């Protein structure tokens, strides 16, 4: 290797991102996003080619193989541009800004790989696209032809580019809504239900057409809506059906790994049959919690089993020896998408006993034409219960046979070449899985899941919490990059969930510390809402305040929801005021496109109907039975803490719940609704009557 190639390789080889490391040997003279690269572009007056992707991205791999590994293409890139490679999972701030710019410039949604060309003096984008092929096809130009035309436009059309950049910045600024004078009423909640009903796929579940994404925030909104109407004596059966049916089809579908557990990122068809095979931690945490909710609502074993399988997969395949959860699994292995997961019929037949095979063939459609490139990806065409009845089996026999068949197939699959795993630990994604694990530990009565959640939480505290500030990423012993809004908000939310599963004073103290950082570093006291980046973050071309749910729940929504709950719990008006201010700031988009703001709508719901907070105080040995009884069933507006009577120096409202009184009385429960608190009760019956 020449010295220049060695330098080029070492530049990305030192990155923590597996995605950047994948490009360390490219002939492209890649830089990470850094001051040195930006300064070089200014000094040489070269436009910046910014390429954003992530390690599990199939089309990122395709473009890399076609163009970035090609010496001729790389030579054009190196001659005309300063080339910067970014992992969207490490730098969601850059990805968010330039994805929005792409949508404004190209007038269509973006995606990955994202390919953006920036003017070097101000880092404003003047052209953007996603995947470009090496040779012209599908109406797209050859990448090298595009590169030449972009560079020529930069040299020859400077005035037009500057004018376009000014218009783009005006358009970005216009995306921020004007804050309303008041918090909206409950109308957006009903509006979201109507919008979801209008897009509902009554045949296959989900909303709209393929590609279909899980969107757990919308399903949670429908479950919450059903629970609220049921509490009023008029349960909305349609809301429950839309959420339950969609989740059932996902659980039975190929988007859910029928052998090993864990959900893939999305389905490429209307049936939830063939996924984009990558598995992302950020999908599986919320879907784990959602399956637990569905089990509590319906009592259907299908959802309990799906929750258990997802949690077991996360521990088995995604939890590091140090405790944190890894980020994702690739879609590809051995150069083919889905190769790890699909089957030949003869291979399955050779592994199973005849009784097992008969059940598997009928349930998973191995008697039908192949559904993925000449092979079979497992998808439940028929329910095991229906097939069992036809084959003269009772439900118990069928469950045993299907369980043994799955175990054999999973063992055989484990000998294959596995998809790559992105082993960086992201604070925000870990928070989503910690919350899911805490919920599952409580609902499924699985102490091992609580232990998993605590290991991850303690890892984040030890490695990513420094001097009262949070970091976003850990990889190979290195923690770095200032954390974003999502990291703080989702971690605060996860701590509140864990506190409802078991009491630990240090977690409450950490929750308060995170809340204070949210207010001091992210909150916009003038207009309301939370910025995505902290006040002391690197200055970028804009500082957005994202409101809508995307692949992850809205950071503004989660921050407001967690602060509102913590504010009621501790009696802290600053937290409640910040939540209300966020609702005023988000009023216009919540009212105009309510279904896209499901997380904020949960905040709105609890603003108008404050959560019921129950705090149980007593001797440690007595707390468990009371806590389990009070938490039984699906009660999304209820927050329950079981705190030992001898817990000292409790903050805020909790201080009023006197430990010496509870010791004398054995056990007491305190209930508050919003700012109104009732006298303590000493029996479960009295608590149930309230």
pLDDT tens-digit map of 412-427: 999 999 999 999 999 9
- Angle between helix 187-199 and helix 237-252 axes, rounded to 10 deg: 50
Token pair for residue 15? 């990155």
DSSP character at residue 419? P
Q: How far apart are CA 212 and CA 266, in angstroms?
A: 6
Q: What is the pLDDT of residue 357?
A: 98
Phi, psi of 401 (to 5 degrees): -65, -45
Which has the minimum average pLDDT: 78-82, 282-286, 558-562, 662-666?
Answer: 662-666
Q: What is the H or E stretch that residue 32 is in?
A: strand 30-32
Residues 6+ apart with CB under 8 A from 140: 131, 132, 133
Per-residue pLDDT of 210-231, as tens digits, reads 999 999 999 999 999 999 999 9
Query: Quick one: fold of 341-415?
Result: Arc Repressor Mutant, subunit A (1.10.10)
Q: Indicate the CATH number for domain 3-174.
A: 3.40.30.10
How far apart CA 28 and CA 147 sit, in angstroms, is 13
Give backbone dihedrals phi and psi of 539, rounded to 5 degrees, phi first.
Answer: -75, 125
* Cross-strand pairs, 125: 118
What are the two backbone dihedrals, phi and then psi, of residue 198, each rounded to the nearest 5 degrees? Answer: -70, -30
DSSP code, position 518: I
Q: Is 34 exposed, middle or buried (0-12, 13-18, 19+ CB in 10 A)?
A: exposed
pLDDT at 14: 87
Answer whether residue 662 shows pLDDT above 60. Answer: no
What is the share, in percent, of the chain residues with pLDDT greater than 90? 89
* pLDDT value, residue 8: 47
More confident residue, 656 or 176: 176
586 vs 8, residue with greater confidence: 586
pLDDT of residue 5: 44
CA contacts within 13 A on the Cβ side of 119: 20
- Quote the CA–CA distance of 649 and 647 in Å, as a whole number: 7
Q: Tally the C-alpha atoms within 13 A of residue 102's C-alpha that lie toward its C-beta.
A: 23
Q: State both tokens at 375.
A: 């092979």
Grouping H, G, I as helix, E, B as strand and the rest as coil, residue 19 is: helix
Give the pLDDT of residue 655. Answer: 83
For residue 214, give the nearest of 439, 506, 436, 505 by alpha carbon.
436
| Structure tokens given for 285 | 């945490």
Say what the pLDDT of residue 4 is: 43
Residue 1: pLDDT over 60: no
Spatial CB neighbours of 361, under 8 Å, sequence gap ≥ 6: 367
How many Å apart are CA 259 and CA 309, to the nearest integer? 9
Q: How many residues does the chain have?
A: 690
- What's the pLDDT score for residue 393? 94
Encode pLDDT of 370-418 as tens digits. 999 999 999 999 999 999 999 999 999 999 999 999 999 999 999 999 9
Q: Using CA atoms, how far apart are residues 452 and 340, in angstroms rounded to an integer?
A: 26
Is it the case that residue 663 has pLDDT exceeding 70? Answer: no
CA dihedral 595, 565, 487, 310 (to 10 degrees): -70
CB 323 within 8 A of CB 456: yes
User: Rounded to 5 degrees, what angle do the CA atoms 329, 290, 627 make?
Assistant: 120
675 pLDDT tier (thresholds 50, 70, 90): confident
For residues 354 and 654, which has the higher predicted lDDT (pLDDT)?
354
Point out the least confidently predicted range of 79-93, 587-601, 651-665.
651-665
As a whole number, mean pLDDT of residues 141-161 equals: 96
Quick: pLDDT tens for 463-514.
999 999 999 999 999 999 999 999 999 999 999 999 999 999 999 999 999 9
Q: What are phi and psi of 63, to 5 degrees?
A: -65, -35
Q: What is the pLDDT of residue 685?
A: 86
Residue 284 has pLDDT above 50, yes or no: yes
pLDDT at 569: 95
Is residue 10 over pLDDT 90?
Answer: no
Report how far apart, in Å, the C-alpha atoms of 498 and of each of 148, 438, 503 are.
54, 5, 8
Other Cβ atoms within 10 Å of 505 Cβ, number = 15
Which DSSP category does 656 fall into? G
End-to-end CA distance of the chain: 76
Q: What is the mean pLDDT of residues 117-122?
A: 97
Residue 517 scores a pLDDT above 90:
yes
Sheet holding 279-280, edge to edge: 279-280, 328-329, 421-422
Whether 556 contacts 600, CB under 8 Å = yes
C-alpha–C-alpha distance, residues 629 and 380, integer Å: 35
CA distance linking residue 523 with residue 358, whole number of Å: 59
All structural domains of the chain with their residue ranges: 3-174, 341-415, 612-689
pLDDT, the chain, mean:
94
How far apart (Å, rounded) are the C-alpha atoms in residues 555 and 664?
A: 44
Per-residue pLDDT tens digits for 23-73:
999 999 999 999 999 999 999 999 999 999 999 888 899 999 999 999 999
Confidence label for 665 from pLDDT (cuts 50, 70 and 90): low
Cis peptide before 191 (omega within 30 of 0): no
Check: CB of residue 93 under 8 Å from CB of residue 532.
yes
Span of 285-289, 334-338, 426-430, 442-446 with lowest mean pLDDT? 334-338
CA–CA dist 457, 277 (Å, integer): 28
Answer whether 3-174 and 341-415 agree in fold.
Answer: no
């Amino acid at each position: 290797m020449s010295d220049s190639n060695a330098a080029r390789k070492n530049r990305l080889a030192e990155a923590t991102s597996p995605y950047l490391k994948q490009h360390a040997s490219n002939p492209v003279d890649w830089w990470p996003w850094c001051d040195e690269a930006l300064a070089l572009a200014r000094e040489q007056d070269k436009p910046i080619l910014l390429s954003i992707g992530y390690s599990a991205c199939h089309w990122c791999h395709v473009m890399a193989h076609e163009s970035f590994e090609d010496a001729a293409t790389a030579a054009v890139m190196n001659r005309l541009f300063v080339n910067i490679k970014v992992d969207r999972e490490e730098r969601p701030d850059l990805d968010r800004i330039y994805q929005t710019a792409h949508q404004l410039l190209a007038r269509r949604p973006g995606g990955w790989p994202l390919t953006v060309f920036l003017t070097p003096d101000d880092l404003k984008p003047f052209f953007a696209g996603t995947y470009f092929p090496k040779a012209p096809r599908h109406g797209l130009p050859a990448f090298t032809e595009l590169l030449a035309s972009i560079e020529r436009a930069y040299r020859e059309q400077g005035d037009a580019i500057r004018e376009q950049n000014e218009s783009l910045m005006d358009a970005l600024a216009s995306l921020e809504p004007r804050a309303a004078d008041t918090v909206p009423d409950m109308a957006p909640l009903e509006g979201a239900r109507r919008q979801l009903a209008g897009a509902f796929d009554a045949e296959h579940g989900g909303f709209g057409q393929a590609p279909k994404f899980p969107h757990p925030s919308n399903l949670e909104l429908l479950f919450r809506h059903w629970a609220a109407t049921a509490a009023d004596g008029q349960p909305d059966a349609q809301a429950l059906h839309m959420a339950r049916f969609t989740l059932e089809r996902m659980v039975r579908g190929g988007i859910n790994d029928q052998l090993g557990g864990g959900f893939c990122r999305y389905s490429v068809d209307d049936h939830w049959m063939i996924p984009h095979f990558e598995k992302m931690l950020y999908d599986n945490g919320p879907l784990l919690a959602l399956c637990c909710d569905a089990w509590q609502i319906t009592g259907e074993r299908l959802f309990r089993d799906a929750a258990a399988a997802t949690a077991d997969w996360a521990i088995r395949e995604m939890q590091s020896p140090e405790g944190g959860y890894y980020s994702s699994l690739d879609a590809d292995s051995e150069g083919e998408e889905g190769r790890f997961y699909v089957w030949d019929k003869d291979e399955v037949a050779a592994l199973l006993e005849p009784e097992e095979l008969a059940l598997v063939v009928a349930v998973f459609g191995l008697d039908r034409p192949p559904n993925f490139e000449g092979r079979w990806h497992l998808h439940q065409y028929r329910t095991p219960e229906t097939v069992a009845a036809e084959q003269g089996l009772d439900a118990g026999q069928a469950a045993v046979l299907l369980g043994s068949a799955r175990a054999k197939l999973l063992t055989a699959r484990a000998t294959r070449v596995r998809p790559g795993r992105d082993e960086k630990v992201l604070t925000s994604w870990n928070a989503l899985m910690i919350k899911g694990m805490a919920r599952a530990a409580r609902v499924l009565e699985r102490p091992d899941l609580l232990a998993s959640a605590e290991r991850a939480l303690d890892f984040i505290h030890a490695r990513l919490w420094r001097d009262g500030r949070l970091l976003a990423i850990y990889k190979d012993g290195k923690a770095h990059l200032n954390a974003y809004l999502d990291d703080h908000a989702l971690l605060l939310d996860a701590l509140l969930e864990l506190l409802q599963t078991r009491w630990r004073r240090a977690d409450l103290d950490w929750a308060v510390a995170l809340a204070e950082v949210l207010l001091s570093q992210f909150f916009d006291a003038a207009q309301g809402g939370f910025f995505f980046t902290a006040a002391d973050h690197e200055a970028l071309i804009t500082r957005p305040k994202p409101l809508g749910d995307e692949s992850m729940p809205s950071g503004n929504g989660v921050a407001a929801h967690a602060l509102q709950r913590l504010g009621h719990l501790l009696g802290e008006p600053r937290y409640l005021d910040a939540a209300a201010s966020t609702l005023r700031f988000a009023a216009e988009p919540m009212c105009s496109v309510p279904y896209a703001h499901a997380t904020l709508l949960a905040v709105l719901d609890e603003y108008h109907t404050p959560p019921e907070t129950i705090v149980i105080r007593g001797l440690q040995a007595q707390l468990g039975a009371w806590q389990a009884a009070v938490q039984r069933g699906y009660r999304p507006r209820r927050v329950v803490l079981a705190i030992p009577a001898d817990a000292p120096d409790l903050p805020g409202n909790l201080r009023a719940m006197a430990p010496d009184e509870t010791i004398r009385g054995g056990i007491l429960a305190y209930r508050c609704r919003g700012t109104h608190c009732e006298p303590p009760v000493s029996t479960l019956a009295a608590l149930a009557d309230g």
